[in-house]
Structure 1
Amino acid sequence: MTIIEKRGGLHGVETRADDGKKTLIGYAAIFNSDTTIGDYFVERIDPHAFDGALKSDVRALVDHDTGRVIGRTKSGTLRLTVDNRGLKVEIDVPDTVDGRDLWTLVERGDISGMSFGFRVTKQEWDETGDMPVRTVLEVELFEVSACAFPAYDDTTLGVRSLEAAREVAEKLKKDAEKRAADAAAAKRRVAEREALQEQRIRGIRQDAP
């Protein structure tokens, strides 16, 4: 089963009407913008995190509800691009109940945030500061959403990733310590053999007439 994390923020959603076509424009993710996730860790998104993800067939949803599709990259009604700021989203809003309601809510300012659903495929952890920092390097992108409450409370997977990273780091540390101990023991054995050999040589010289 694929477990999806959700992130987002109040980065703003704009409306644009052109020749009868209504388009929502905003950012689902902002690069190198530190966000504290549930007081457990800080998360930032690398500018190259979406490089491979834009090739996927991604849906645009309302509030992450898979039953409320308002756009799709495959059909061209959802367009995703990456610029210096982040992951830019353009949604051609459909003439449906969800589409019309969403357009009105954005125009009124009731909905002003965007979010995205994803699975981390590559990440780095840094625990040198007061709080662990997770840098998301690569993701599998499933959906983007216009949201009244962009999700920042999805901490479980991040904490699990941190614990897994710590376990790997601890194992690597123990393996390195074992290799160092084995190398030191081997060095001692060589030194002991050389010392014993030297003693034998001195004994032979002393016994010689």
Structure 2
Amino acid sequence: MKRTMETKKSPLSAQTKRRIDYGDDRSQFRAVTEEIDGNQVRKIRGYAILFGVLGKPWRGSVWQEKVASDALDGVDLSRLVLLLDHSSTWVLGRNGKNMRAVVDEVGLFIEATLGNTWMDDYVYDRIERELMDGMSFYFDSKAIIASDWENKIDVIAKINEIYEVSVLAFPAYDQTLIITTDGEEPEPEADPEEEAKKQALINLIEQL
């Protein structure tokens, strides 16, 4: 029997923390300085989500993902926050305060004005030097995700709520599978426990 998008969910569909490796410059945070009323103001900006662009959840994945162009229709972004590495301890921005979040034809655009604390200095330096430019988002578990088993593609069709977006160096799922943007980079030193988790997921995909 042919498996269709309606009959079976992919092994990834239960994950609500998403970092899709788009391989697209628009999905990376950039650090900029603007002059406002004679003062130099530091900002970071980029697209946390790109619509209709295929990406992979981690290097070497057989599955790809994309977010539908209308997936964010009706989503309330008024309480959206920007975090460092998905940690609620490190809040970089809040929509309507020092941040703006805009859904346009490209995707979800984020721009945050940084302050003058040591953490703001650290984040700005890391992003300006392109040492940390990954973007990730965390959405509701009841989102509608269609799995195309024939082509190994997950389509995120409808998101009800986005809890936060994050900037981080090594974006990952809950299983902390390391993601990079360059397929030629050497593998990091393997962690036996994480390698076991990764292999179990690969085996599951092969068996389905």
Q: Same fold (TM over 0.5)?
A: yes
CA RMSD of aligned residues (A): 2.8
Who wins on radius of gyration, i.e. which is larger? 1
Partner-residue secondary structure (3-state), 2:33: strand
User: Structure 2 vs 1, CA of residues 7 and 120 (structure 1 numbering), >3 Å: closer, same or farther?
Assistant: farther
Partner of 1:72: 94
2:73 matched residue in structure 1 = 51
**Structure whose residues are more often strand by fraction:** 1
Contact residue 120 and residue 140 of structure 1 kept, 8 A: no
Pick aligned residue for 2:28 from 12, 27, 45: 12
SS of residue paired to 2:127: helix
Aligned length: 155
- 1:67 shift after superposition: 0.4
Distance in 2 (alpha carbons) for counterparts of 1:141 and 1:89: 13
Report matched runs for 1:9-158 at 5 Å: 9=21, 11-18=27-34, 19-37=39-57, 39=61, 41-74=63-96, 76-127=97-148, 129-152=150-173
What TM-score comes out, normalization by structure 2 length? 0.63
- Please say if residues 139 and 164 of structure 2, whose CA atoms lie closer than 8 Å, have aligned partners that are also in contact: yes
> How far apart, CA to CA, are the structure 2 residues paired with 1:111 and 1:139?
28
Does the C-alpha gap of structure 1 residues 8 and 96 become closer, same or farther in structure 2, counting only changes over 3 Å?
A: farther
Once the two structures are superposed, residues 91-135 of structure 1 have per-residue CA deviations (whole angstroms, 9 ceiling, x without a partner) of 111211211100011111101222111114332424362425333
SS in structure 2 opposite 1:110? coil
8 A contact 1:56–1:141 mirrored in 2: no
Which structure is higher in helix share?
1
Where structure 2 has 5 or more consecutive residues not aligned to the other structure, the ranges are 1-14, 178-196, 202-208
Report the TM-score when normalising by structure 1: 0.63
Runs of 4+ in 1 over 6 A off after TM superposition: none
Query: Cα 1:85–1:153, aligned 2, differ >3 Å: closer, same or farther?
Result: farther
Partner SS for 1:70? strand
Long gaps (5+) in structure 1: 160-209
